[in-house]
Structure 1
Amino acid sequence: MRKPIYLTAGALSLVLGFAGIFLPLLPTTPFVLLAAFCFARGNPAWEARLLAHPRFGPSIRAWRERGAIPAQGKRLAVLMMLVSALGGWFLLPPGWHMVPAGFCAVVGAWVLTRPSA
């Protein structure tokens, strides 16, 4: 019963991850990691194909084995969060501009504390 749900969630995550390659504000890696998680439960053959992929496989294995994020991915993630927080700072009303800034600060700190792949 749950396999179709995991398979659908994995496919949707993979599509969003693929779109993130071309859309700078949409992250690729978290969606690919989520797809691997879902495929492991919904279709292990698709998980194996994702792990064997030359672009995504090493990142997924590094995350699973050591919780590691590639250094370039860390830099890009923090940069995009900074751009988003600055956008919120100028576009949101006073008081609300602190919400994205605080969220990005917490998530950015967490990303930077992960081991580098």
Structure 2
Amino acid sequence: MMQPSKKILLLLIGWFFVAVGAVGIFLPVLPTTPFLLISLWAFSQSSERFHDWLYNHKIFGPPLQDWSKHGVIPPRAKFVAVGTMAVSAILVITFSSTPWYGLVAMLALMGFGAGFVLTRPSKPRPETD
């Protein structure tokens, strides 16, 4: 049995990230699905009812199901993720006094993240019988 305070905290985390994800629908630079995945996780730990609601939601559900079943990252999300990494790297390199080893570490981590994002499928593979 989960402690009530832990359950409340996870519910608050879940609803907070649902709200952030909903804002992401209207702001092109704010990705929706990663925040909804955090919500889905928080709800899976605290409320089966809210987890099932979010997973089967008419708008939010399909990308969550695509990720869960097929590991799909849509092209728009890939573009935003890699583009944001590139712009961030350019800004840090241009306007900060970060030592060379910090820049190398940052670029390596961004490269790893970009590689992960870009190697995920963009749409579910067709089901074969």
Q: TM-score range by the shorter chain?
A: 0.7 to 0.9
Equivalent in the alignment of 2:65 = 61
Count the aligned residue pairs: 116
Is the CA contact 1:90–1:97 (under 8 Å) kept in the aligned structure 2? Answer: no
Distance 1:91 1:81 in 2: 15
Distance 1:77 1:4 in 2: 31
- TM-score, normalised to structure 2's length? 0.75
Distance 1:112 1:89, change over 3 A: same
When Rg is computed on C-alpha atoms for both structures, the one with the higher figure is 2
Equivalent in the alignment of 2:122 = 116
When the two chains are superposed, the root-mean-square deviation of aligned CA atoms in Å is 2.1
Q: What SS does the corresponding residue of 1:68 show, helix, strand or coil?
A: coil
Equivalent in the alignment of 2:22 = 18
Q: What SS does the corresponding residue of 1:110 show, helix, strand or coil?
A: helix
Identity %: 32
* Unaligned ranges ≥5, structure 2: 124-129
Deviation at 1:62, TM superposition (A): 1.0
* Unaligned ranges ≥5, structure 1: none
Select 1:103's aligned residue among 109, 114, 118: 109
- TM-score, normalised to structure 1's length? 0.81
